């Protein structure tokens, strides 16, 4: 059963000089007590700069403080507020309502992640797979001696991996991936892109070790280059590119 509510003018955190408003549909689901998810509807005013996260927080503040949403930085840096917005995975803090070009905005928890409650999903598997690919520099001489200098890199060497180091582990790529939709054991675009990030780092010597980890039936071979991961990445990481480069090592295209 949907509930339609409107924010009273004097209560909204968004200035109400604008006559514009949208219907915000929020998915409500508690795995411990509910059998299925349901949508609550709220009429929320917005300005052209209002983000989906701000609209959700307005609802939390004035109507239903039980709405569960994870957020922190509000500037697309912490990667906490990923959710399905009108059917596509996006960061709520990085998505302006005015850009959605819709009178109804539907927010749901990200696909392919277990739901903790409402819009909040569990990241345990994402972090587990991230750790699996050894996301750190591997060297024989990993500890610097007191009289040594830091590991130097040329700008060109930095350029090889810096794009992939932008990953904020928000999970949007895993949510958009068609393979993740059906294969819970798949390593996923986030972890694979991070594997490439370290393999491409000239300071790292762990390429063979990482290639062994991802060279398995639920590893890199399950990627079919649909590219959806790259299209939803809010930081321009382009996981699809990293994965294809990584596969190039295994296929002998790269060395």
Applying CB under 8 A, which residues contact other proteins?
29, 31, 36-37, 87-88, 109-115, 121, 159-164, 166, 176, 178-182, 184, 200, 224-228, 230-238, 240-242, 244-245, 247-248, 251, 253-254
Whole-number Å distance between alpha carbons of 58 and 109:
18
Q: Which token pair is 118?
A: 């409402």
Compute φ and ψ for 70, nearest 5 degrees: -100, 130
Q: Indicate the length of the chain as a whole number.
A: 255
The CB-of-206 to other proteins minimum distance in angstroms stands at 19
The CB-of-172 to other proteins minimum distance in angstroms stands at 12
The SS3 call for residue 134 is: coil
The CB-of-113 to other proteins minimum distance in angstroms stands at 6
Q: Among residues 15 and 248, whose Cβ is nearest to other proteins? A: 248
Q: Among residues 159 and 216, whose Cβ is nearest to other proteins? A: 159
Q: Of the candidates 88, 91, 62, 89, which has an alpha carbon nearest to the alpha carbon of residue 74?
A: 91
Compute φ and ψ for 135, nearest 5 degrees: -80, 65
Instruction: Tell me whether residue 74 is exposed, middle or buried, using C-beta atoms within 10 angstroms of its C-beta: 0 to 12, 13 to 18, 19 or more.
Output: middle
| DSSP conformational letter for 94 | G
The CB-of-16 to other proteins minimum distance in angstroms stands at 30
Q: Among residues 15 and 114, whose Cβ is nearest to other proteins? A: 114
Q: Among residues 46 and 186, whose Cβ is nearest to other proteins? A: 186
The CB-of-30 to other proteins minimum distance in angstroms stands at 10
Whole-number Å distance between alpha carbons of 118 and 64:
12
Compute φ and ψ for 108, nearest 5 degrees: -135, 165
The CB-of-12 to other proteins minimum distance in angstroms stands at 29
Task: Work out the angle at residue 3's Cα, subtended by the Cα atoms of residues 58 and 89, and round it to the nearest 5 degrees.
Answer: 60
The CB-of-188 to other proteins minimum distance in angstroms stands at 12
Q: Among residues 19 and 155, whose Cβ is nearest to other proteins? A: 155
Percent of residues in the chain assigned helix, strand, coil, to nearest 5? 30, 15, 55
């Amino acid at each position: 059963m949907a509930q339609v509510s409107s924010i009273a003018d004097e209560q909204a955190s968004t200035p109400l000089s604008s006559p514009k408003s949208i219907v915000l549909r929020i998915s409500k689901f508690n795995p411990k007590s509910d059998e299925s998810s349901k949508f609550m509807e709220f009429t929320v005013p917005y300005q052209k700069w209002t983000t989906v996260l701000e609209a959700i927080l307005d609802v939390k503040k004035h109507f239903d403080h039980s709405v569960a949403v994870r957020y922190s930085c509000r500037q697309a840096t912490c990667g906490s507020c990923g959710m399905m917005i009108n059917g596509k995975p996006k960061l709520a803090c990085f998505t302006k309502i005015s850009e959605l070009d819709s009178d109804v905005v539907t927010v749901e928890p990200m696909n392919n992640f277990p739901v903790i409650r409402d819009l909040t999903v569990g990241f345990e598997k994402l972090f587990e797979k991230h750790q699996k690919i050894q996301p750190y520099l591997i060297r024989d001489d990993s500890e610097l001696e007191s009289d040594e200098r830091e590991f130097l890199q040329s700008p060109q060497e930095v350029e090889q991996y810096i794009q992939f180091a932008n990953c904020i582990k928000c999970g949007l790529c895993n949510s958009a991936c068609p393979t993740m939709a059906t294969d819970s054991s798949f390593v996923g675009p986030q972890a694979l892109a991070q594997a490439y990030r370290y393999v491409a780092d000239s300071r790292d010597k762990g390429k063979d070790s990482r290639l062994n980890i991802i060279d398995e039936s639920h590893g890199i071979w399950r990627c079919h280059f649909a590219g959806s991961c790259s299209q939803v990445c809010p930081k321009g990481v382009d996981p699809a590119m990293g994965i294809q480069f990584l596969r190039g090592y295994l296929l002998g295209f790269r060395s």
